[in-house]
Chain A
């Protein structure tokens, strides 16, 4: 019954999406007084409730392990801990698509419920667009990936007792990314709505901004978590592989970052109208494109998901409909949007334009690199594109962007001169040069990490310069958000550059009792012992590691063998210090009775993820600041009208 209830809720939600689309469209044609138009908002809200109910039902069948539901039988097992039963609900194709529409419908319900700043016509157009996009994903879910499908006979037991899937990181990483991906659908609908009504105003950008910020925070967290997960779980010592799945998550982030900044210009200065609309369309397009690339299997990836050409075709169809449709609308309508306010090159807007252009260029570089194998395979040539391409080509655009990021926030809006901020410019340039010289003297470092270290130092200082000459208590929260996020970029950059410049690796074949060293660590293999788990056996290398004159520490990385299904994994061990991490992996035995041990010393590598968290925190601060000042604004304008009314009655 529960599963049928979930399915019914989903069908009803799809019907409401139709109503939302039709209501919104009629409102645009017949004016906002039309009777159906009044139903658009309630339809969106109710739809959100129904889809949430449907998702709750899916969680329920997973929680009680209802083995007559195919998805449960395929992906769960009665003996799993509850938390992994629940996370199993979205750890598969159907469930994750349901999560996708759940986030989408809830976002739609939220804008319908609380957004009051936009002109009603634009609002109706936005909701119609949101309904239209949701409709396609409902169709996909209901027609080709029904999560509630029953088995003719209940299975005796589920197939999903895979201990390797029981990883807390794996359980919460996809939903985080999904909220980010799908949150961008709101920006997309806003952009389409504004294109339809041609009303691209600062109020529109202010309404859109919190949504972009929210989605962006989740995307940032998802990327950071995914990167750390890959780092500790895959046992290769790397944190980013330029793999298609990773790029699929990075591209929406790049577009959303650009959108965030251009929406800021539109909100404050009423400039960059067409560009902001374009980015609004592109950001969610990148989310859908990422989903397509990941789910259709047209690209080879180290991470991979269900591969099913039929589903791939369906997603491609949706992609064509929505992205193609939005871009067509853009081509037809954008010419009619009047030019915004003008500004000079040396101004805050000018710097933000450069930032946007550079971000777009990096996006283009990543997109082309990701799609290149698709292109060459059309000519029967198989290639893989990796760090030798992405790192240098991306860096060509990243460093100018970082430079602009350091000084841009110091410029005034509209018109400014470089002379006014010459002191700050000189300071940043001096820091940069000093950094380059210092780190170059310190040791032989490749060009990119060297530049990275120097830029990180300069940027870290520069990010606080906007505070100069201001009373700290009076600095708006949103500005603190910007400072935190920019500082976070500097921290992350330092971690990456340090990892690239100073990492040391040691691969040794050790006898029991043998010693080796990596960086400042002395390592001794005490013994290799068999360890047994509930469904695996492992060889654990008991290692004693010692940092310079510190106390010795005992660690035991494992090489695990699972049976049913037979699989082998490495359980790496990380030893974290304030200034870096020791990363130890146990390999197999060599023929002569020695054991392979692989060790890395990665100075300051943890800064990569701390920096990422700072960036997300900056986003949260900005969001809080924006929402608070919005509420204040509303309160004040309400008080003003109240006063006026009082005066008039008196």
Chain B
């Protein structure tokens, strides 16, 4: 009789163990771009703010590896990653922004509030560039090597722990 009383307890612990295991598992179901490893498609974008020039894909064909950051002023995780972008800039990384479906006034307001780590910001009103490079959301960050080839895609906002990883990817792309 009394062993039956233990059944609920044992069942519950089976569940708790499973749930604990699941919680400890990282979840990664992001859709990766099929463009990684390929050359950037050709594009030119008008400037999204008064302070910075627009973006031309040819700009990525020379010089050091760069970061291409897909963002928008209406995007909340973009606020969260602003500090990390700032940090990357301070490490000497060149960051090129593409503002998705945005208004210049909103862009300006965002940059005054959260800092401006970008050397250039293109305005992508129809998400054309975003789709062309295989990004399906905002924010996303791409590592482009000195020859215009996408070597790495980071999906979602850049957290503190992602900064060394991105620096490493940039270093690899530079070789």
Contact = CB atoms under 8 A, between A and B. Distances in A.
Interface of A: 156, 159, 278, 281-282, 285, 292, 296-298, 309, 312-313, 316, 319-320, 323-324, 327-328, 330-331, 334-335, 371, 374-375, 377-378, 563-566
Given A335-B5, A565-B75, A566-B74, A327 B22 contact: no
Contacts of A319: 16
Nearest to A282: B8
Contact of A324 (B1, B5, B16): B16
A335 B2 contact: yes
Given A313-B23, A565-B75, A278 B8 contact: yes
Contacts of A285: 12
B12 A330 contact: no
A252 B5 CA distance: 21
B20 A316 contact: yes
- Enumerate the 4 nearest inter-chain pairs by beta-carbon distance, A residue then B residue, closest first: A327-B9, A565-B74, A331-B6, A331-B5
A298 B19 contact: yes
A335 B106 CA distance: 68
Contact of A323 (B2, B12, B21): B12
Contacts of A330: 5, 8-9
Contacts of B50: none
A324 B12 contact: yes
A316 B23 CA distance: 9
Contacts, number: 62
B6 to A, nearest CB: 5
Given A331-B6, A374-B18, A565-B75, A312 B12 contact: no
Contacts of A312: 23
Dominant secondary structure at the A interface = helix
Interface string B1-35: 11001101100110110111111010100000000
20 contacts: A282-B8, A292-B19, A296-B19, A297-B27, A298-B22, A309-B23, A316-B20, A320-B16, A324-B13, A328-B9, A330-B9, A331-B8, A335-B1, A371-B15, A374-B22, A375-B18, A378-B21, A563-B74, A564-B74, A566-B101
Nearest to B100: A566
Contacts of A335: 1-2, 5
Interface in B71-124: 74-76, 101, 106, 113
A334 B8 CA distance: 12
Contacts of B74: 563-566
Nearest to B113: A156
Contacts of A328: 9
A321 to B, nearest CB: 10
Contact of A316 (B8, B16, B25, B113): B16
A334 B7 CA distance: 12
Contact of A378 (B6, B12, B22): B22
A377 B101 CA distance: 36
A377 B27 CA distance: 10
A278 B9 CA distance: 11
A318 B19 CA distance: 13
B41 to A, nearest CB: 23
Contacts of B76: 159
A324 B12 CA distance: 7
Nearest to B2: A335
Contacts of A297: 27
B9 A324 contact: yes
Contacts of B75: 565
Nearest to A328: B9
A56 to B, nearest CB: 29
Interface string B143-156: 00000000000000
A313 B16 CA distance: 11
